Amino acid sequence: VRSYCQYCSVAKALDVVGDRWTLLIVRELLLRGSCRYTDLRNGLPGIATNLLAARLRELEGAGLVRREEAPPPIATTLFSLTPRGAELQPVVEALGRFGIPYMSAEPAPNDEFRGPWLSWPAQIYLRDREPAMPAVAIELRTEGGSTTVEAGAGELRARPGAATNPDAVVSGSPPAILRLLSGGLAQGEELSPELELDGDLRALRRVLPRAESTAA
Amino acid sequence: VRSYCQYCSVAKALDVVGDRWTLLIVRELLLRGSCRYTDLRNGLPGIATNLLAARLRELEGAGLVRREEAPPPIATTLFSLTPRGAELQPVVEALGRFGIPYMSAEPAPNDEFRGPWLSWPAQIYLRDREPAMPAVAIELRTEGGSTTVEAGAGELRARPGAATNPDAVVSGSPPAILRLLSGGLAQGEELSPELELDGDLRALRRVLPRAESTAA
DNA sequence: CCGCATCCGGGGCGATACTG
DNA sequence: CAGTATCGCCCCGGATGCGG
């Protein structure tokens, strides 16, 4: 809330989004698009409810978040990013990329996890490596929820939630799935025994990074 | 210092660099390369000295900053980013880009300014638009210090400090210089009367963005 | 149940003074 | 020059209450 009082664009940006929790709220809104207060609270384990309300008001005042009162039949308020707020995506992505190395360690014993958070590593590691083939959907499933990866025509995007008709479903612990996303699968290599695959292995290979075969 | 306790790369990154002042310290180290405690203190107006010391120690512990004791003749300690710390450059650049719109307003009455901070807008707006020509150096001079822009062979980089043999020197207030960097100069347009040019106008035009002429 | 507001304890933060 | 020491304040975290 307190300004750095520096006429510098980096400092001015941090004046707006530098407070604690603010960029994590933006992360959730980038992932989920438009969601209710309770959805945000659930996607941000550890946040105090008064802080979430305060941050949302600040972001709204800064023109980064929009609050929509849904029509009477639904009777709920929806929060979403304004176009200006969506311009924070490069910031959150750069942070996500910088933070990737910290994920190779096992999660701390009291670390929480939510499935949609896999979207950031997925967008970083995965590519559509066979653009000519018809589109596929792959679901990454953990005990904390699912992320669905859709690849087609050379494009790839990740969104929270389960897929309706996935070509492949990979289940396992978050670190095991991360190792798969970052390390890929070498030619003829089998899936790690920590993971379980249901569906088409070729659909999975299509998006995974190429790994050198372990043998020379 | 307190962890978000979320197994997410964005949250893990903010665990390390999310504290107040931390990313601004990284900004200074990215700009200046290697500098003394006092240089950092001077480039970060408003920071409390105990906080600067604490943050430097945290960054050192996280492996992002390296502390070098210079040999006896100099007898000073130098701080610089490790390679891992330099990986924060995309984060700081993304923040700088997001913060640019806040710079179009006049600086707040108690806003401080340092010349090197112009490096971020310069790297965003300026390009070497005549790669075939011999290299040029342009100095952007304000009351808070200078930034030097060097363009040649299609590359452009900005560094803090005055130039030794500049082809052009632009002097003026920070907002006026920013308006020049972002708006450019249309064909035959004169430099704003707020600014003063000493040297070769063509060297300046070489790096400025193209502006449509005001007349139809 | 959803979207907060209020209260309170602890600690991060800001400013100044002081030291090897 | 490069920090440490101290102190007050306000942000933050956790719990609870409350109106729609």
pLDDT digits (tens, 9 = 90+) for A145-180: 999 999 999 999 999 999 999 999 999 999 999 999
Question: What Å value separates CA B66 and C1' C9?
Answer: 37
Q: What is the model's pTM? A: 0.93
B169 phi, psi to nearest 5 deg: -130, 125
B216: pLDDT strictly greater than 50: no
From CA A71, how far away is CA A24, in angstroms rounded?
28
The total of other beta-carbon atoms located within 10 Å of residue B25's CB is 25
* 48-77 of chain A touching strand D, CB 7 A cut-off: 48-51, 54
* Percent residues over pLDDT 90 in chain B: 87
A2 touches strand D (CB under 7 A): yes
B89-99 vs A89-99: helix crossing angle, rounded to 10: 170
Burial string for B101-124 (b: 16+ CB within 10 Å, else e) reads ebbeeebeeebbbbbbbbbbbbbb
For residue B78, what are its two tokens? 């130098």
Is the minimum CB–CB distance between A100 and chain B shorter than 8 Å?
yes
Q: Which of residues 12-51 of B touch A (CB under 8 A)?
A: 12-18, 20, 23-24, 27, 45-46
* DSSP, res A210: B
**Residue B43 banded pLDDT, cuts 50, 70, 90:** very high
Per DSSP (E only), the strands in chain B are 34-35, 65-69, 77-81, 136-142, 145-152, 155-160, 168-171, 196-199
Q: Which amino acid is at B151?
A: A
Q: Which of residues 156-185 of B touch A (CB under 8 A)?
A: 174
Name, in order, each residue with C-beta under 8 angstroms of A154's C-beta and a sequence gap of 6 or more: A128, A131
Cβ of A10 and B120 within 8 Å? yes
From CA B43, how far away is CA B34, in angstroms rounded?
13
Which residue of A1, A98, A173 to mutate against B (max B Cβ within 10 Å)? A98
- Name the closest nucleotide to A22, judged by C1' and CA: D12
Cβ of A98 and B108 within 8 Å? no
What does the pLDDT read at residue B182?
Answer: 93
What average pLDDT does this structure show over A1-24? 96
From CA B148, how far away is CA A77, in angstroms rounded?
50
pLDDT tens sequence across B148-162: 999 999 999 999 999
What average pLDDT does this structure show over B179-194? 88
User: Long-range contacts: B81-84, Cβ < 8 Å, 24+?
Assistant: B81/B26, B81/B29, B81/B30
A9-17 vs A22-32: helix crossing angle, rounded to 10: 80
CA dihedral for B158, B162, B163, B168, sign (positive or negative):
positive
**Residue A216 banded pLDDT, cuts 50, 70, 90:** very low
What kind and span of H or E run contains A23? helix A22-32
Closest CA to A63 of A93, A83, A78, A77: A83
Minimal CA separation from A188 to chain B, in Å: 30
Question: What Å value separates CA B13 and C1' C3?
Answer: 30
For residue B152, what are its two tokens? 């040649």
CA dihedral for A92, A95, A101, A107, sign (positive or negative):
negative
Most distant CA pair in chain B, distance: 66
What is the separation of C-alpha B21 from the centre of its chain, rounded to a whole number of angstroms? 16
Question: Is there a contact between A36 and A78 (Cβ–Cβ < 8 Å)?
Answer: yes
A185: pLDDT strictly greater than 60: yes
B210: left (phi over 0), alpha (psi -120 to 50) or beta: beta
- Using DSSP's 3-state secondary structure scheme, residue A45 falls into coil
For residue A167, what are its two tokens? 């070509």
For residue A171, what are its two tokens? 């289940």
